[in-house]
Structure 1
Amino acid sequence: MTPASEAELSEAVAAAAAVGQPLEIAGGGTRRGLGRPVQAEGTLSTSGIRGIRLYEPGALTLVVAAGTPLAEIEAALDAEGQRLPFEPMDHRALLGGTGEPTIGGAVACGASGPRRIQAGACRDAMIGVRFVNGRGEALSNGGRVMKNVTGYDLVKLMAGSYGTLGVLTEVGFKVLPRPERALTLVLEGLAEDRAVAALSAAVTAPFDVNGAAHLPARADAPARTLVRVEGLEAQAEYRAASLARLLAPFGEASRVDGDAHEALWRHVRDAERFAGREGAVWRLSMRPSDTPGAVGRIREATGADAFYDWAGGLVWLCLPETGDAGAAVIRAETARLGGHATLVRAAAATRAAVEVFEPEPAPLARISAGLRASFDPSGILNPGRMRA
């Protein structure tokens, strides 16, 4: 089913709820491999509900229909020298998907890229939503301007809900100006613990770093530690020179800009290191100071490859998809260190057999269950996607 309006979508959901028909919710279909396999008899696509509803560059606000392709949104923003703050990941390279990523899919999965360390997550850029709940009721929260923050917590709740609480039809964002100058400082050859120390020094300095990643050595490339700065021409140059001096104890930093700079951060954002390779892919989040040790222990037990983002606070792992795909080893590390882990890529059978998302403590699980019962009492929206 591909309704062309919110009213048609509401009718479709209400009809499904009346007979208890489970629905898989999809946008462009590029993120369908995320989460657990959905147990549904039909697919409801938002790709027919598309278009920019409101764009006021002077007010830094944008309202778009959920099925609007991200490429269309980015082109409109680029024409005005602006961009989405949260740098949404494109999962096609990692998951081997085709189609067009939509803004509703990015919001539903809470897709946030390297810029999160400075600009915040997807949910932090959202100022309003419209969605259809599991009863077929069209609801709205927030607004179309940044001053209107009524129901802001509900707006945040929809980010990362994977279509289990409601089907997004419209999303409002605050946007940011695109910088005049952008460049990356690159340190080569650092061990992982030294690289994380360098990244921590960079992001805690007053130089507005908005990208901090480490790519360990591979057979075809040395280890590279990346620090991104942006701003007006003079600002970016000052920040880069200051950071180079600050990072001198870790080595001499080279500079990358232009197309090579953009390609580096697409590589990090989209986890291209693991694209086209076999194996399960995990995302781990924990204190940056803990990640090198945790990665070392996981690597020793599983043979995992890894790279770091968010100044070491986010680790991507690729490891053989045998047995539980490393779940026991990884969950033991995150439990011990107070972090959490998500299985991002694996075969459907693996995703059905292991916990894809970090298990919730009992009190939080009760709250989650209550929310699902309130928003989708018949359990027809993406059943099985987040939990069995």
Structure 2
Amino acid sequence: MSNTPTSEQDLSDLIQAANGPIRIVGGGTRDIGAPVDGTPVPTTGLSGVTLYEPGALTLVAQSGTPLAEIDELLSKEGQRLAFEPGDLRGLLGTKGASTIGGVVATNASGPRRIQVGAARDFCLGVRFVDGAGRVLKNGGRVMKNVTGYDLVKLMAGSWGTLGLMTEVSLKVMAIPEAEITLVGEGQTAEQAVESLSAALGSPFDVTGAAFADGKTFVRIEGLEASVSYRAAELAKGVLAGFEPVAGAGSSDVWTQIRDVSGFAGLEGAVWRVSVKPSDGPRLVAALEDLSPRAIYDWGGGLVWLHVADQADAGATRVRAELEKLGGHATLVRAPADVRATVPVFQPEPAPIAALTAGLRQKFDPRGILNPGLMGA
């Protein structure tokens, strides 16, 4: 039997026949988590858009469909995936082509999340094969939930530990007519977060709010006249002194923030930290001994943190400071031997860990799907 299934039935048969761990492989672009020692099962044989209704803003694709293929199809109709999934190949030093299944499985969501939500919020339905080889589905056009669980919410962000997705149904959105990014210079991280919070708290519908390389960025999108008006109002109000960048220049800014391009060529570990926006600069200041660099996204609520090489990628210090502030951290980039010994994902409180273990027992009773990738 081939380890590259080309149908849902192939996959079901393969999982039922498995006598050891399985390592699920999408496009191979997001090498995050503890290394998994198991038989690789690629999703590349499960590829293709099976339904696209531009008028209904709905797309259904098999999980191994390249993200680039979906982007190209949508752009021809003036549409896109609104949640802005990043391309982390530069940051992680990986190759391959990102797949839509990998995007949903990791809940990959970019700068626009602050306005529209995450990948899971645009996922209407899923089909997947669980660790017992059962085909499960809910949402989408079938609207059948065979387990009583909200499978979409469970699968998005599960990193392949509950099942291998075969198909996803997504809501898509129109590409706006215009975008402008207002750029401010000379602010400290604390001042930038204050400006970003003020912009997000305004009535002007901000779709991006970030601070990187000493510059503060605020994005506005929509109809051209509306974008011009909102940008002007912000620039004479809470973002006084900020300068507008439009079109491709604006788009390039957010591509770099989305892809964490600023850390791509630097040696050292990279963390993805979620905190209260005002706590981000405090966290970075407290970690001065790790020579930190930071990119603040989501108004400061998401901190991409680069730290100098440490034996444990700075995990002891990062998590100790986070315990004081609240929040959680994921080790996005570090050598495989470090990821094998350091908890890559934020350790869960005992009650949540018990729920997680129960879900895994329900969907993967033999514990064969990406075992250990997210920890115990």
The two structures have a TM-score, normalised by structure 2, of: 0.96
- Read off the aligned partner of 1:165 and give its amino acid letter: L
Match among 322, 328, 333 for residue 345 of structure 1: 333
CA separation in 2, counterparts of 1:53 and 1:242?
Answer: 44
How many residue pairs end up in the alignment?
A: 372
Query: Which of 176, 181, 191 lines up with 1:179 in the alignment?
Result: 176
- 1:323-369 CA deviation, whole Å, 9 max, x = no partner? 21111111112211111111000001111111111110001000000
Deviation at 1:297, TM superposition (A): 0.9
1:13 to 9, 15, 25: 15
Going from structure 1 to structure 2, the CA distance change for 1:167 and 1:26 (only over 3 Å counts) comes to: same
Aligned with 2:296: secondary structure? strand
Counterparts of 2:201 and 2:342, CA distance in 1: 37
Matched, 1:132 2:129: yes
Q: List aligned pairs for 1:58-97, cutoff 5 A.
A: 58-97=55-94
Q: Which secondary structure state, in structure 1, belongs to the residue aligned with residue 23 of structure 2? A: strand
Structure 1 unmatched ranges of 5 or more: 217-222
Summarize the Cα distance change of 1:10–1:71 in structure 2 as closer, same or farther, 3 Å threshold: same
C-alpha separation in 2, matches of 1:265 and 1:78: 18
In the TM superposition, residue 3 of structure 1 has moved relative to its aligned partner by 1.1
Residue 167 (structure 1) aligns with? 164
Equivalent positions of 1:85-124 (< 5 A) are: 85-124=82-121
- Name 2:201's counterpart in structure 1: 204
> Which residue identity lines up with residue 35 of structure 2 in the other structure?
P
Fraction of identical pairs, as percent: 57
Q: Deviations over 1:103-131 (max 9, x none)?
A: 00111111100000001011111110000
Amino acid of the residue matched to residue 254 of structure 2?
W
Are the aligned partners of 1:63 and 1:144 in contact in 2 as well (CA < 8 Å)? no
Q: 2:260 aligns with which of 271, 293, 305?
A: 271
2:116 maps to a residue whose letter is A
How far apart in 2 are the matches of 1:96 and 1:77? Answer: 28
Deviation of 1:371 (Å): 0.5
Q: Distance in 2 between matches of 1:96 and 1:334?
A: 27
- Show the counterpart of 2:307: 319
Whether contact under 8 Å (1:69, 1:102) holds in the other structure is: yes
| Aligned-residue offset at 1:160 | 0.7
By how many angstroms is 1:39 displaced? 2.2
2:32 aligned partner: 34
Which letter maps to 2:221? E
Q: Does 1:231 align with 2:227?
A: no
Structure 1: distance between partners of 2:94 and 2:286:
32
The Cα shift of 1:152 comes to: 7.4
Which residue identity lines up with residue 366 of structure 2 in the other structure? S
1:247/1:253 contact within 8 Å kept: no
